[in-house]
Structure 1
């Protein structure tokens, strides 16, 4: 049996009706808001997710965790599928001429689930928490010099240095607004979002009821359920069996098969998300540039894209800056053609005439096991012999996991701007620098890209960053994946976000 007996008995006995998934964002005109508020609520929407590990916004990262937070909380600013900024709790904003002060007007009349009013103090408290040093978000918000209350229910962020992406930073996955001095964060959930938590069984499900007083209009479904499955195939089988209405975690072959099945609808959205193949570079063998170059020469990215992605998404160029970033993306620096013999020669020059024996650690999700198998075959021809160790996500991201091993594959979700990837994963000492890469020239370029207000200078800087990563970086980005979703035909207006956990499930219709 593909899905558990527990899930089958519990949710078929309930006889829950299929419902709908809504579009992302809430950039509504007054007329749209009025229509939304007047819409009749109906039914229960059931989403298949993987279990959550943490629900503290400081550390939540998985789609299921972000989706949970997105249901009960709100952001100051959201982003849509095209990476455009969308007002949420901040209704408007202004930037000072010197680019060092951002004033955001906070919506009035917004209430937390306990009935208390949202205030500027709540926003200030939230971001002071987020910018605390030694937290996962401390580096992202380290540039904030002060946060103060402004005039007319506004909050003023003053920066130490200019940051052309600051409004995007305010929309980061972790930046949901909490009530000041909120107790038991990650256990109690008093938000301003469209749904209120009604029941939570960590290994089983989360049940939310509609917040009929939501500032953006009452959700179109009375109940939202996240049903947790330990593996993606169980979620797919539950979708086929009518146990859930929506599934968004599956491999590419399964998605293409489901897209052709009657009674189901599919959506595929290009993203900036990617699987990062990385070699630890602060110790042998990855601290040798020739070894890093050998891995690149041993890799055929086009074959990987065709065999793993099956045409979904885009081919990568060993940098997190992909085609959807427009002018920031560059093909000026050529990728070396695959040459296993040249890779062997480089390994010999680096002191490994007999090649390398290593373990490749992979989270057992999506198409990553297939990616590992393709890499294993390609690299073996270059004298790089690997053993594959598949791990569940809790193990992979746990202590002595992804940040410690010498060779791994880590999925990075889609972000609207490339600076996030550079600041958090490639800058010296960055919180998630899993390759432990340190390069003075790269660090200087990352700093320039993160502060310059000259757009052409920023474009040129990103091109140089891509050159360095292609020529001597410790990473291989073989592809950018698509955001995939399958829903029951009764689910209409299912508009996924490039980061699936940021898909909003509140503005829905029922067919």
Structure 2
């Protein structure tokens, strides 16, 4: 961001704040969201915007329990083959059209059939949606699905106005959340305003919320210190001491559910003979990385080094897969066995933020010691995600914000046809194990299935895990009543911004 843009942004935000009597919350995001369409969206920052824009059938509380939102109650059939939901009455979308069972049916069917929907695998168990009455809807399933409620607590359960489906929904999204869409300026800001007819309007104290895209963490911090934004999302770990020593702002954090890693393009338009398709090369890359050093050098020790998708506080964490220890000599030997005695050239696309670029440079230096020459290709995050889906990468440094059900951290990334399986990894045994894990509610049985699938994935390495995430925030003292959630979403019920 240029100085000129920073000054213009400051002036713009200052004007907005005065017009709204300081009741517009301004959130600095680390990147620009992709499509404002829950069916097409893949970015974490997009989910943050959707939390204010699009209510879901169900939500979670801070302890990760599933709670009512647009659905007030639900029940699963004894045989597990259907889920019935009772819907909240009197709810309308932002264009005034009613939310009802027909709208739920239209939303789910769109998620399943839209050509570029990335929600398809999340809803694969839904055979049909039956409208029982305007306030009752039944999901008929192809098999029991222990993950479905958790999926409906995220983008698969976000309700959009069917009346807006025929247009460019991402350009003018119409949902039923506490705030409605006003405008979007790409790479700059997204503005929402309070929806007066929101079903829970009494809990919304803000007049609006503006999400400002500021990839440079230093500029985000400067805007927080100057009062031009109220919350820094994803504060740089190196900025924590400065925030803690600055009057009027504070550092807050919460342990998250997700991870950051590296995805390898095995079969998504990959040319024959590409070294990244060789499992020995992928293993060599894994062994050349010192995760503990990354945590200390890049993150001041606030993240948790990882070699699996589940955090240590998850009941599905597998102690059989501890953090991979660095072994440069073994990495070199593997390259020689793969026919690369003189080393190998690879490339990795990486988000264009200072922190991720530093991460990439540290990895690049580590790999060089093993004879792996890595080119870093810096991209704006939405472009990176798009290129990943289209197979325009060799290695992609990207992560996942995490889900409350373990399925959400693994299934879509490694099953054939999974919405986030960007490298097109395919292993029928992994598919079978993970699909079976979806069909049982027994935590012990599920843990064993994830353990078996994890052993195969750890051997094949379609992706490798680097660290588990902690959500780091810089927050103005003017922001009151904000509760942090492990999923990293900013829920704004009862949140206020004190006047100057």
TM-score by length of 2: 0.90
Q: Distance in 2 between matches of 1:394 and 1:209?
A: 24
| Residue aligning to 1:117 | 98
1:286 aligns to what?
A: 276
Q: Does 1:341 align with 2:329?
A: yes
Matched, 1:265 2:250: yes
- Find the counterpart in structure 1 of residue 137 from structure 2: 155
Distance 1:14 1:209 in 2: 12
Q: 1:311 aligns with which of 293, 297, 301?
A: 301
Report the Cα distance in structure 1 between the residues aligned to 2:124 and 2:351, rounded to whole angstroms: 30
Contact 1:403/1:432, CA 8 A, preserved across alignment = no
How many corresponding residue pairs? 486
Q: 2:27 aligns with which of 47, 51, 64?
A: 47
Tell me the residue number matched to 2:80: 99
CA distance in 2: counterparts of 1:8 and 1:133, whole angstroms: 40
Distance in structure 2 (CA, Å) of the matches to 1:68 and 1:43:
18
Look up the match of 1:382. 370
**Residue 69 in 1 paired to residue 70 in 2?**
no
1:33 equivalent in structure 2: none
Instruction: Give CA-to-partner distance per residue, 1:227-274, whole Å, 9 cap, x none.
Output: 343544332221111111111033221244323322102221111221
Taking only aligned residues, the RMSD between alpha carbons, in angstroms, comes to: 2.5
Q: Using the alignment, how far apart are the partners of 1:269 and 1:102 within structure 2?
A: 32
Following the alignment from structure 2 to structure 1, what is the Cα–Cα distance between the partners of residues 298 and 453? 27
Aligned to 2:359, which of 361, 367, 371? 371
Give 1:165-180 correspondences, 5 Å limit.
165-180=147-162
Change (3 A) 1:265 1:295: same
Matched, 1:329 2:313: no
Report the counterpart of residue 10 of structure 2 in structure 1. Answer: 8
Instruction: Please state how far the C-alpha of 1:136 moved relative to its aligned partner.
Output: 1.5
Output the CA distance in 2 between the equivalents of 1:14 and 1:181. 31
Gapped regions of structure 1 (runs ≥ 5): 20-41
1:122-155 Cα offsets, whole Å, 9 max, x none, are 1111111111164221222122111012258211
Shift of residue 277 of structure 1?
1.3
Contact 1:329 1:462 in 2 (8 A): no
Counterpart-to-counterpart distance in 2, 1:465 and 1:5? 51
State the 1:346 CA deviation. 1.4
Q: CA deviation at 1:279?
A: 2.6
| Secondary structure at 2:18 match in 1 | coil
488-497 vs 209-218, which deviates more? 209-218
- 1:54-111 CA-to-partner distances (Å, cap 9, x unmatched) read 2122112334433333323210011234322121000111001111110111011222
Q: 1:175 to 1:346 in 2, by over 3 A?
A: same
Q: 1:14 to 1:281 in 2, by over 3 A?
A: closer
Aligned to 2:291: 301
1:162 deviation in Å? 1.2
Larger mean Cα displacement after TM superposition, 225-234 or 435-444: 225-234
